[in-house]
Chains A and B, each alone.
Chain A
Amino acid sequence: MIRSYYIITRDSNHSFKEDYWHINYCSCNNIEPLTEFVETNEALIATLDMPCVEKEKIEVTSEENCVRIFAPTTKGFCFKRDINLPFSTDPEKVRATYKKGILAIEIPKKVKHYKIEIK
């Protein structure tokens, strides 16, 4: 069961304001996993927290400007995330590993940095 938080606060006009914290729903029963990005000159490394998931059921699809992740959980909902890339990648060179509930995806950049010789 996923928790939701319902907070009631009082603003400066002394009226009550309701804030509802909710999980990012992509669509019915899909949620986005917590994600961290580390960018280097050669690649973008995305790590996604995906507990309660079986490795065999994870789907990672790579396109030139997007990487899509989908995984059903054992809890009745699914993790779903589309990573839109600010650069182009070679889809065949994207690598993914799943360890201890964390999915790590290495997305190499197609355009690398070149050192320009000054004449």
Chain B
Amino acid sequence: MLNPIRIFQKDNIIAILSEIPIDPNPGYMLSKRLTEWYKEKGVELIISISGTPFQERIDIDEPEVFGTSNNEEILKKMEDSGVKILEEGFVSGFYALILKNSIELNLNSSVLLAQCYPSYPDPGAAASILKILNKMTGLNVDFKQLIEQAEDLKVNYRALMEQTNASIQRESKVDVPTMYR
């Protein structure tokens, strides 16, 4: 039996994986506690990985990765790694809470968002993110399997995507400020 949220560690890298969508209510407390835990561990940089839905994703062969950070040096590093820095806009959800809490606790934090399908698992978007991560952190994660086994992964993660879609619908509607429409 596996815990759906798992923490992995190797050398100086900690990775947190969630196989379930995080609902907004517990997400608030979880993000607060997680950020406090990062502070206790003396984390140098937090990299949150997510996607930004793109209706025309089917026409894109290699999704672009957008990002933002609360630190100018990290922003420059992200840009050098091929990330398109978000000039304006807003981030919502769990990773926005991580970013907000990181600012309060004086931790370096960043968010990477790959163009992805709105409602389907997207191994291609995950591969784009990993390419960027490899450049940013000097890791050498092999993402070829993600692309070769994309179809199988889409089948295996279908149930998780269904629950994620249900969770998104349960979130309260965000009133988008007029200037960002």
How many A residues face the partner with a CB closer than 8 A? 26
Q: Choose, from B69-77, B157-165, B170-178, the stretch at the interface.
A: B157-165
Among B4, B19, B151, B162, the residue within 8 A (CB) of A101 is B151
Pairwise interchain contact B158-A23, C-beta atoms closer than 8 A? yes
Interface residues on B, range: 20 to 34
Chain B residues 113 to 162 lying within 8 A of chain A, measured CB to CB, are 117-121, 150-152, 154-162
B15 within 8 A of A: no
Q: Say yes or no: A21 contacts B155, CB within 8 Å.
A: no
Taken together as a complex, chains A and B put the C-alpha atoms of A5 and B159 apart, in Å, by: 8
User: Which residues does chain A contribute within 8 Å of B161, judged by CB atoms?
Assistant: 34
Of A23, A51, A73, A100, the residue contacting B162 (CB under 8 A) is A23
* Residues of B contacting A49 in the complex (Cβ-Cβ under 8 angstroms): 117, 119-121, 154, 158
Q: How far is B121's CA from A4's CA once the two chains are assembled, in angstroms?
A: 16
Q: How far is the CA of A52 from the CA of B4 in the complex (A)?
A: 26
- For the complex, give the distance between the alpha carbons of A5 and B158 in Å: 12
In the bound complex, how far is the Cα of B161 from the Cα of A99, in angstroms?
A: 20
Interface check A118, CB cutoff 8 A:
no
Known: A34-B158, A34-B162, A100-B58. A5 touches B118 (CB 8 A): no
A residues with CB within 8 A of B: 1-5, 7, 21-24, 31, 34-36, 38, 47, 49, 51-52, 73, 75, 99-102, 104
